[in-house]
Structure 1
């Protein structure tokens, strides 16, 4: 949760208060201000938080096993089971596929916003 909240909080703190006042003075409702002012300006924080969460969750198999029981299948759990059964080539192939999918997701997310602007 913190890996998502902190980047969003950081980007929302950079929003100029006068923009929210201008939206209110223009007659925008609270929802219109949220969707037309706050969300577009905090989009970089949402994307950065999503990148953090995706990279952490894709390889996490311990928490999924504890929270959902050992019968829940995730990619990390499948790779862990394959290595425990000494099926190293299949586990390595699945790890490369997982890495490729995560890198493609991150590449797609970084195309949506300019992350250098947030740093």
Structure 2
């Protein structure tokens, strides 16, 4: 048997998956409203990433938002990673996929952050 705390944690995890990783709406939640809120959260994260990594936003242009959404869906941000590190991880993902060139010299520092 699970405790009330464990059940609540499971429900919260389902909600976060729905909001951040395109998961199904948990029981009792309106799927359309969750989809709207998820879009708001993704747009906010995308704007913050573009602010923190203007080099990526400039290089990708109109493709930035779609690629960030793809990255964010596959790699949802958690409270264990700060916004700058998350933006840098997005940059590393872009390099791995060949979307942007690997930085050289001092600019490569963001690629090696943990």
| TM-score, normalisation: structure 1 | 0.29
User: Could you say which structure has the greater relative contact order, defined with CA pairs below 8 angstroms and 6 or more residues apart?
Assistant: 1
